[in-house]
Amino acid sequence: MTRRFALLGDPVRHSVSPAMHRAAFEVLGLDAEYVARRTAPDEVGPVMRSADLAGGNVTLPHKLRAARALARPSAAVRATGACNCWWRRPDGELAGDNTDVGGLRIAFSRFGFRPRGARVLLLGAGGAARAAVHALIEDGVSSVEILNRTEARARALRDRALAHASGADVPADTNRAADAVRVVAAPHAGTTYDLVLNSTSLGLAPGDPLPLELKGETDRVGFDAAFDMVYAAGETAWVRQARALGFPAAGGLDMLVGQAALSLERWFPGREAPFDAMREAAVAELARRAGSEPEDGSGAE
C-alpha cells in the first residue's frame, strides 16, 4: 500500500521538498508519495493525525504548533520546542523530531566547520536559531553570541538554551557550553569569530538587506568563515559578499538536504537516504524556477 507524506506550512509553493523526496523514493524503490499542503494554523494537529498520512514535514510558520501535537517528541523537539518531521508509530501515536538540528550538523561537516571550541556569532533568534543553538551547544562551542534586532527575543532564546542545559539528563559539557550563550548588541570589536552564522530569513526575497554588512565590520572584527542557513538558486548576496572579502562561505542547501535525508530515515528505519540524489533534485528544481539549467550540483547554496 502506498504510504503518503506531506509538507505542512504556509506558504509551501516555494518548497523543493517534494522534488527531493520523490527523487529519494524512486532511488530506493519505495511505494510512497510526497505532496506540499498549504495548512492553516488550526489545521496542523488534525492533519498530522489524519489516517491517510504516514508522516511528513512541517515548515514555517507551524513548527512550534506541530511540536505540541506530538505524543512522542524527540530530545531535539523538547529542547527547541519545534518539530519539522513527524510520523505515525505502529501503535498510532505521533512521534516527531527536529531534523533541522542534524541537518545543520551535516552541512557543517560538509563545509569543514567543527563547532567544538569555536566562537560563533549567530544572527537571528527565530525558529532556525533554536536549532542552531541546540546543535552548537551540544557540539561543544566555546561561545555563541546572539545578535538580533529584538533583544528580548534573543534573551528568550538564551534562556531556553540555559533551561534545557540545566536538566539532570544533560551532560556537564553541554551545560558549560550553554553558559557561554550570550546576547550582544553588536559584534565585539577586536574579536575573531570562527563562524558568523545567519539564521534569519533575510536573503530569501530579492532586494532583502544583508543580515549583517560584513564589509563594514571587517575593519574591527575578524571572521574566519560564514554560513547562511538561507538557500537559493546560486548563492545568496551575503555568501557572495563573504567570499569577495576572502573567507570561506556556504549557503543552506546542504542543511536543507540533510534535514530531508534524516526525515526519510525516520520514516523508513533501516534505509539510508540517497543524499546526492536528493541534492541533485533540489539543485535542479531551484534552477528550473530561476529559469536556468544547473551546470552541476556543486556550490549551489
Which residues are CB-neighbours of 131 under 8 A, at least 6 positions away? 76, 80, 82, 98, 100, 101, 104
User: How many degrees, rounded to 5, is the angle at CA 100 between CA 108 and CA 295?
Assistant: 60
With 0-12 CB in 10 A as exposed, 13-18 as middle and 19+ as buried, what is 219?
exposed
Rounded to the nearest 5 percent, the helix, strand and coil shares of the chain are: 40, 20, 40
215 is a catalytic site residue = no
List 6, 32, 62, 63, catalytic entry: 63
Cα separation, 4 vs 76, in Å, equals 24
Element (DSSP H or E) covering residue 4: strand 3-9
Q: What is Dmax (Cα atoms) for the chain?
A: 61
- Residues recognised as catalytic: 63
